[in-house]
Structure 1
């Protein structure tokens, strides 16, 4: 369903979708904002829904880039309540359910936004997607960017935690490992073919150091990237910078010119 949305002075084309997901075995909802431009995937905060992009005013923050046809955003649902958030549940099952959600993104969401963007922009090739999220959404965005650089050619991650310990504690198996960036990147071979992809893309990982922020794993990734020569802009903001939307709006406005440049 295609429609236009005008809210708080924002006017942009939107499309709503509700489709059955083979990867997840259920219907999933999403919404696309914009009429042209590079595709961007927005992953909501912990336990979030696709409409958070609009309800928490991130659509308004990105409106200058959406309305000018520079980006087209697809906002999706999380299943965090079944995976990272369900800390009393069976971690073996939860991490495998999370991997199904990853498959949903890679096999269903990315092709959808690539197709729409290609159709609108007239591109011959399938463009890569910019992964974007805040808080646990940033955790997922970085994981997708690092695991699938042939699909994601940009990343903007704000206030994430980049260890699977956050959701799975001391439990570790091969599936947890492959979804824990500080673990798999620490052992990432510098002669891996992905290195050329990382070096040709633009990614930002940012975290404040104020209330409710947890910057330790951001610092860990910064050290790993520097040791391996991976050009990710890892940026720590001040001790007054809280884990909150007001700061994420400022960070988005600050970093978007770099991501799109």
Structure 2
């Protein structure tokens, strides 16, 4: 994990597909919000992911991929996020991510609304069925947002500010429209933000992130 800033509201940022904790620094996402970090408004925690040992682990059986991801989620919920909340003296945190990181951020926020006040998913995808080779069980259900959120109680998310960012050229446009529809049906207030003719890539996300921080925390 890399930490940017000495104080400020904590934001946990997840890397994109099969990437590492330093990716958001190398591809400009941190620089896009440098002013907010240096002014002490936000403290950014760039965490690692385990895509190669979970969803993308084709060498493992599908049920093991999900079990590994559940261990990662348990680490986040029981160890890392409580430590961040304690360090920053705040009841809840913000989570963000680009591409597959958008899934990580959304899944954590939706599963643990008691720990999250802000969700910023940028070009995320929310249906993991393509990673499961047809396998389906309860563990998968509770980590597949398009499934479990359809049966959730919307009031649990009434405190949370949620943005689903996408674009007209985004390969995940449909995923975000679908997720927005689910949230609408269960009465969860959110912002589906569709940018213009921008590709699913870092130039788009480096515009999104400062925009969402300024809008969601104003």
Taking structure 2 as the reference length, the TM-score comes to 0.94
2:107 is paired with a residue whose SS is helix
1:50 is aligned to 2:21:
yes
The structural deviation recorded for 1:207 is 1.2
Aligned length: 218
Deviations 1:154-189 (A, max 9, x none): 110001110121422422110110011111111224
Pair 1:71–1:46, CA change in 2 (3 A): same
The aligned residue for residue 143 of structure 2 is 179
Could you tell me which of 169, 177, 182 is aligned with 1:219? 177
Structure 1 gap ranges (5+): 1-29, 119-125
Contact kept? 1:87, 1:168, Cα under 8 Å: no
Higher relative contact order (CA 8 A, sep 6+): 2
CA separation in 1, counterparts of 2:124 and 2:99?
4
1:207 is aligned to 2:178:
no
The structural deviation recorded for 1:88 is 4.5
CA separation in 2, counterparts of 1:257 and 1:170?
41
The structural deviation recorded for 1:108 is 1.5
The structural deviation recorded for 1:214 is 2.2
5 Å-filtered alignment, 1:109-188, equals 109-118=80-89, 126-188=90-152
Contact kept? 1:182, 1:217, Cα under 8 Å: no
CA separation in 2, counterparts of 1:136 and 1:184?
18
The aligned residue for residue 97 of structure 1 is 68
CA separation in 2, counterparts of 1:179 and 1:138?
13
CA separation in 1, counterparts of 2:129 and 2:174?
13
Cα RMSD over matched residues? Answer: 1.4
Pair 1:189–1:201, CA change in 2 (3 A): closer
Structure with greater proportional helix content:
2
The aligned residue for residue 242 of structure 1 is 199
Deviations 1:24-63 (A, max 9, x none): xxxxxx1211111111101001111111121112111111
CA separation in 1, counterparts of 2:178 and 2:65?
25
The structural deviation recorded for 1:209 is 2.6
Contact kept? 1:38, 1:127, Cα under 8 Å: no
CA separation in 2, counterparts of 1:130 and 1:219?
22
1:48 is paired with a residue whose SS is coil
Taking structure 1 as the reference length, the TM-score comes to 0.80
CA separation in 1, counterparts of 2:217 and 2:93?
12
Structure with greater proportional strand content:
1
Pair 1:169–1:70, CA change in 2 (3 A): farther
1:254 is aligned to 2:218:
no
The structural deviation recorded for 1:97 is 0.3
Pair 1:69–1:166, CA change in 2 (3 A): farther
CA separation in 2, counterparts of 1:217 and 1:185?
14
CA separation in 1, counterparts of 2:159 and 2:48?
29
CA separation in 1, counterparts of 2:104 and 2:62?
17
